[in-house]
Structure 1
């Protein structure tokens, strides 16, 4: 099975022990499956981008700065992995080529205007992955941002078309925030890939790989592949 794991910067953390725990889990899963990991930029990227904006950087340059941070985080994860190549793919073709000889591939962002969630969805589509996992700071998908509205409804399962409608409405409002952006969802919809959004703790990754996401995640149901 081919698995793409989007490891959000908010759950990755700048902590050697936590990164090592993620690495150990990824190595174990890679004994049976092909693993592609896309690492986000998190707080560090936001800090760099914030300073860049103060200095007059435009949005595209800020995106490139964020991409640079995601690749630095990817290098940290690679430092703890024995089976991953010491190379950060700059695009999906390079990631695919590296996967021909390795079971673990780690990368960061790729193109300006794309979040690492969208990058993960595009990568999953490109390599024809069986499963897309999105590790976040919350335990699944909610009707609204649960940090803003504590009464938001949590979903155990939701169809991708229904989630697109919810996110599209929320993105039209200032300050809307979701675990997956609209571009990522559109890619998931067209590629019909099974996707699970889950609470990004290392011990949860093998659970969701086995389909055990109850209480820790949400299954985004795609249309059946033809």
Structure 2
């Protein structure tokens, strides 16, 4: 009997000891393990790609087109020509070309004075001739006289178109158109003839000269 009691007490003590051990194990905090995808390192931002937009905000200005350069040069030189005419200046930088012989001077004269009767023909013949490259004096005055004649023609055409538009207005338009045609047009034609004769005479003297506005424009275009 005593042995049985001792065995029962030992069993009770062992069961209590086991339960206490289980409680201690359950009471210990469980350590959390990091996730499988977490590396614990800080990700560095990627540098901007070369194809990305430029944040500088300073774009290069596009170069003007040849047409814009032509128009700007024409507008500038037209203003200079108008200023020179108001001052009564019809020629600049006149200087005798010692390389021009008598034939050169005669051809240069004809390039100007023939515009009165046959516009554009004589300068075109000089420029198309094979010897024009060997005759810089002739070529200079041929280009200049041709440009001068074209300027006169364009001016007359613009004036004619303007008068046609004004003539549409009854009475007042007719009066303005008649006044311009009767008084202003003959004066402009006479001034053009006198200018051609004057420049032709200067060319016959063996001079190279600049017509205000016109010659500078031709030089800007590398035509002379």
TM tier relative to shorter chain = under 0.3
Give the TM-score, by structure 2 length.
0.23
Q: Which has the higher contact order (CA 8 A, sep 6+)?
A: 2
Give the TM-score, by structure 1 length.
0.23
Higher Cα Rg: structure 1 or 2?
2
Which has the larger helix fraction?
A: 2
Which has the larger strand fraction?
A: 1
